[in-house]
Amino acid sequence: MTATSYALVCVGGGALCFAHDGRQDPVAPPLDALPVTVTVAIRPETPGVTVFTYKLASVADGRRVSLVGRRIIHDTALCTAAFPVFTVCQHVKILFPTYV
């Protein structure tokens, strides 16, 4: 990641954070049950505003757990050039829809 990157990252113990410019803001506590589904989308709203939306879903002990959130990013450069990057480890499966 660089200082201009925006990301949803998994940190120590499996907690999820929104990261940018060296800061990590907690999004969700550690989710013990696998699998966890993470959906991420970005949408340019206006010339200087991008909406970063995320959804987390899991089935833990037969209970459905979900979290939906968004970040409003004020960055003109991001609106003109946004490049998705996926880095995964351990038990991760990435699915890309065919209708994109």
Give the integer Cα–Cα distance in Å for 23 and 32: 24
Give the integer Cα–Cα distance in Å for 93 and 81: 26
Q: Phi then psi for 79, rounded to 5 degrees?
A: -65, -30
| pLDDT (mean) for 79-100 | 60
| pLDDT (mean) for 11-30 | 80
Contact 47, 79 (CB under 8 A): yes
Residue partners of 94: CB distance under 8 A and separation at least 6:
86, 88
Give the integer Cα–Cα distance in Å for 78 and 76: 5
Q: For the whole model, what pTM was predicted?
A: 0.67
Which pLDDT tens digit goes with each residue over 60-72?
Answer: 667 777 788 888 8
| pLDDT (mean) for 74-82 | 77
